[in-house]
A = this chain, B = another copy of it.
Amino acid sequence: MKTMKDIARLAGVSQSTVSRVLSGSAGVSPARKAKVMEWVRKLDFEPNFSAQTLAAKRSLLIGVVVPDLMNPYFAEILAHIEKHAARNGYNVIISNSAGDQKREREIIKSLKARQVDGILIGLSSPEAPLLEELKEQKVRTVIFSQEYDGIDCVGVSHKKGGALVAKHFLAEGIERFAFFGPAKDDKYLGFRETLIGAGIQKDKIEVIGNEDWWLTMLDRGLKSAIEYLSSVNTDLKLGVFSVNDPFALGIVHAAQELNLKVPEEVAVVGFDDTFVCLNVRPTLSSVSQPIEEIGRLAVEMLLKRIDESESNSKENHILLEPKLIRRETS
């Protein structure tokens, strides 16, 4: 491995000069600059990032934490994050939390030890204690899955998304409802609120997979979907709203397996509008989040924070509009 010292010796200048040339800081004569660059090219030199990080306290590294890499939503957003990060000279460390808070803490701790310049985090459900910690520790953080007071975030309003689905189901004349996912999710709050506001009785709204929903998720929800659908009374048309697309797919398949007609007997709407929605038959209705935009904005927000030396300014919240994309399952 070559070092700046080598370049300096070969180019006949001091190491400081090499550093100045490479960092693009002003105050180097064109002649010396050219000489340095010549050797940099000749040796295909690249400065050691660890040394740079140690000395400059800036790693050009961002950490991304997601609860489930297999969920196409997170895979897609990771792809966009990586693209924009790379474009700005940043590398991305990816960590999968599997929706486990303990693991999330460990990850964040280790990312800090790596001196990452910032963290982008997607949560699968609201986790106040963790976010509270994140706020205390002064790591620059942007959440791309939900809102939280005192932390930068970007995303759609899940509550509004839930409300959209409720309105849609009501307009279709549906009278029984189920939500697949954690009851504390904002999506469910918006869903339920709207239904109750429209005069629906509470006993017509059910939550499935509440506590252990994450475990249920891991096999894509098929099993618990079958369990639920086979136990439910189907004399009333059922409207099922799912916390995400893979899980919604599980419901559709469960319905098919039980010979229930979709959407005539069971209407299904997912969340995220990932590309799988179009890749399945029947095509899946879903609440759309502008994934690419969210990924881009999250990176931009974080880099802006990194640039401003003082972390004085108030947090930024960017809320985009969710949209219900109606397809064949609802």
Contact = CB atoms under 8 A, between A and B. Distances in A.
B79 A69 contact: yes
A10 interface: no
Contacts of A281: 280-282
Q: How many copies does the complex hold?
A: 2
A263 interface: no
Interface residues of A, number: 44
A70 B70 CA distance: 10
Contacts of A171: none
A47 interface: yes
A51 B49 contact: no
A71 to B, nearest CB: 9
A109 interface: yes
B275 A220 contact: yes
Given A69-B78, A75-B72, A82-B95, A50 B276 contact: no
Given A49-B114, A115-B50, A86 B79 contact: no
A53 interface: yes
Given A69-B79, A82-B69, A112 B53 contact: no
Interface string A122-141: 00000000000000000000
Given A70-B79, A92-B94, A50 B53 contact: yes
Contacts of A78: 69, 94
Interface string A98-113: 0000000000011111
A113 B44 CA distance: 11
Interface in A269-312: 275-276, 279-282
Given A46-B110, A69-B82, A275-B70, A93 B96 contact: no
Contact of A46 (B49, B51, B113): B113
Contacts of A249: 279
